Amino acid sequence: MADGKEFINKLILGDNLVELQKIPDESVDLIYADPPFFSNRTYEIIWGDDGERRSFDDRFAGDIDVYLSWLIVRVRQMHRILKDTGSIFLHCDWHANAEIKIDVLNSIFGKNNFRNEIIWSYKRYTAKSKKFQSLHDTIFWYSKGKDYTFYDTREDYGEKSGKMDSHYKQDEEGNWYRMQKRKGAEPYKIYLSEGKRLGDVWELPIINASAKERIGYPTQKPEALLQRIIEATTNEGDVVLDPFVGGGTTVAVADRLNRKWIGIDQSVMAVKVTELRLRKRQNELFAKPFEVEIPTFDLSKLQKAEGKQFEIFIVDKYGGIPNLKGGKDLGIDGHTQYGTPIQVKKWNRPVGRDTLDSFITAISRDDKGLFEKNKKEGQICGFIIGFDFSKDLKNEVARLANKENIIISLKYVKDIIPYDNPPQVTLSAEELENMKYRFEAYAESKAGIDFYSWDFNHNEEVFRGDITMDKTGVQEKKFPEGEHQVAVKAIDKQGLEGMDKVKIKVKK
Ligand SMILES: C[S@@+](CC[C@H](N)C(=O)[O-])C[C@H]1O[C@@H](n2cnc3c(N)ncnc32)[C@H](O)[C@@H]1O
């Protein structure tokens, strides 16, 4: 990215207004934004077409200005982070598309950078009403400037072309073609297999109940839609951003098409379901690694982290400069921007007096001049960061400050990064009749459980969610004869997860 760090694909849990501000200027090639409607009064996100419409009419009507100002501040950020050759696709529908075009996109991107109004047309059952059925969404495409990336995209001719169309003939190999005549040029063949140039009306099915790609996330968009957008406006290796990632369609397609990606969502369910969707690909040959950024860290993972990695991470989060060398660092893991030494301990037992004694020796040798200066001026001589500190150590810190003018500052990890215990899960299996089993997950978490995911054919390497969004924690399933392992993940409201598994032996 623009800051010189190696790019890592990322899923981020958070408000996109905050997260977009952390992304450098002109660093993204494509943004696909599919914002929700929300009721401003409750900030409740309204999912699903029926829910969306009812809530919009009941509570949002008249508040369009509030909605637009919510969107404008976000789209301004999107404009800032797009490269000059980049594009935005903003997905909306009849509720607000008129206002979004004029008040948001024209005013931020400029009328001249309007490229297309794409109509996504689909079929679905709608309730009877005294108007024509709404059977399309609108996707506005704006480029950031005139020199934007675009590749001509083709779609298949319909089945009626070819043998049903008298303009077409077949060559010796059976391929259908028609002759194109241009003034002053020799006639030439155009083959049906070349496809026709894509127009701005896209007929693509919505995700129906039995679709293979369906993950059950409300408002999930089809992969074919995102594939068209990504292929037409980016190259391999380009960065694709979805600030309303939902069930992860954009990032799943970007990943498959070898683009880099960033997905943001403020809903735990969205981020975790997207994570599970991408992890399902993880043991496929070309799946790329990615990071999931959740504001609350998992305490058990922090304490299991490799020592040096943990030290570097904490010093960095504290705003210091980590000591990247391993080996004999005299117990100094980094320095503040002013050169004051920092030591980090990741033990789950309280840091004791002996640590302090050797730290004092180390800091007095590390930079003798600075140590003496800090002592003289009554400044902090060193920082120790830990999960907890013993009483002995605290007493000695007080004595050093009072009697020897050596000020050591003790910092708790919890004040640098928020962390919590992940949910504790217990899974039980009960045999019902006819090779059918009932599974019940019991999970405990201070934050409260958000949802459960199930892998009915669990191998030790990856968790492949068969059911990704279960609110109940109870499942019944029939199995073929043999041994099976079932795993359940409980995800809490902070996005932390715990897992348990059971083995069953199914007999006829
Ligand atoms: C219409 S859905 C997106 C669906 C997605 N395109 C898909 O294919 O699954 C909108 C998403 O925006 C998220 N969202 C709403 N406000 C947000 C905000 N301020 N920051 C980040 N995400 C937000 C919601 O949680 C929801 O998942």
pLDDT tens by residue, 306-343:
989 999 999 999 999 998 876 556 779 999 999 999 99
For 202-208, which contacts have Cβ atoms below 8 Å and span 24 or more sequence positions? Answer: 202/118, 202/119, 202/120, 202/121, 202/228, 203/121, 203/122, 204/120, 204/121, 204/122, 205/122, 205/123, 206/122, 206/123, 206/124
The protein residue whose alpha carbon is closest to atom 1 in ligand 1 is 36
C-beta of 267 in contact with ligand 1 (< 6 A)? yes
| Residue 440 phi, psi (nearest 5) | -130, 125
Query: Residue 109 corresponds to which amino acid?
Result: F
- Helix (H) / strand (E) containing 255: helix 249-256
Task: Confirm if 188 and 198 have CB atoms less than 8 A apart.
Answer: no
In the reported structure, the alpha carbon of residue 6 is separated from the centroid of ligand 1 by a whole-number distance in angstroms of 27
- Show Cβ contacts of residue 258 under 8 Å, excluding neighbours closer than 6 positions: 236, 237, 286
Contact by Cβ (8 Å): 316, 344: no
DSSP 77-123: HHHHHEEEEEEEEEEE-TTTHHHIIIIIIIHHH-GGGEEEEEEEE--
Q: How many whole angstroms separate alpha carbon 339 and alpha carbon 436? A: 65
Q: Is the CB of 77 under 6 A from ligand 1?
A: no
Q: Is 495 in the pocket of ligand 1 (CB under 6 A)?
A: no
**Tokens 């496809």 correspond to what residue?**
195
Residue 433 pLDDT? 86
Predicted pLDDT of residue 56: 39
What is residue 171's predicted lDDT score, i.e. its pLDDT?
86
User: Cβ(263) to ligand 1 under 6 A?
Assistant: no
Which residues contact residue 43 at a Cβ distance below 8 angstroms, ignoring those fewer than 6 apart?
Answer: none
Does ligand 1 come within 6 angstroms of the Cβ of 45? yes
**What pLDDT does 87 receive?**
98
pLDDT at res. 282: 66
How far does residue 36's CA lie from ligand 1's centre (Å)? Answer: 6
Element (H, E) at 315: helix 307-317
C-alpha span between 63 and 56 (Å, rounded) = 9
Q: Indicate whether residue 249 lines ligand 1 (CB < 6 A).
A: yes
Structure tokens belonging to residue 399: 């004595």
Q: Of all atoms in ligand 1, which is nearest to the CA of residue 221?
A: 8
3-state secondary structure 347-385: CCCCECHHHHHHHHHHHHHHCHHHHHHHHHHCCEEEEEE
CA distances from 228 to 217, 244, 483 (A): 21, 19, 43
Task: State if residue 16 touches ligand 1 by the CB under 6 angstroms criterion.
Answer: yes
Torsion 211-213-216-218 (CA) sign: negative
What are the 10-residue block averages of pLDDT along the chain, 508 residues in total?
73 96 98 76 40 40 78 97 98 91 97 98 86 93 97 78 74 86 85 86 88 80 96 98 96 96 94 90 72 94 91 94 75 92 92 94 92 95 96 96 95 95 96 93 94 92 84 94 95 95 92
Q: 96 with 66: CB under 8 angstroms?
A: no
What is the Å distance from ligand 1's center to 26 Cα? 23
d(CA 40, CA 158): 44
**What pLDDT does residue 46 have?**
40
CA angle 432, 437, 438 (to 5 degrees): 95
Task: Print burial letters for 420-439: b (CB count within 10 Å at least 16), e (below 16).
Answer: bebbebebebeeeeeeebeb
| CB-ligand 1 contact for 220 (6 Å cutoff) | yes
Predicted local distance difference test score (pLDDT) of residue 27: 97
Percent helix, strand and coil across the chain, each rounded to 5?
30, 30, 40
**What torsion, rounded to 10 degrees, do the Cα atoms 126, 127, 129, 131 define?**
0
Instruction: Establish whether residue 222 lines the binding site of ligand 1, counting it when its CB lies within 6 angstroms of any ligand atom.
Output: no
Ligand 1 contacts CB of residue 44 (under 6 A): no
Q: Which of 66, 242, 244 to mutate to test the pocket of ligand 1 (most atoms within 8 A of CB)?
A: 244
What was the pLDDT predicted at 45?
41
Q: What is the CA(273)–ligand 1 centre distance, in A?
A: 12
Which structural domains are found in the chain, ordered by start? 9-150+200-293 (3.40.50.150), 162-194 (no CATH), 301-416 (3.40.1350), 421-506 (2.60.40.10)
CB distance 265 to ligand 1 below 6 Å: yes
Which residue has tokens 């905050």?
Answer: 18
Does ligand 1 come within 6 angstroms of the Cβ of 219? yes
Residue 491, beta-bridge partner list: 451, 497
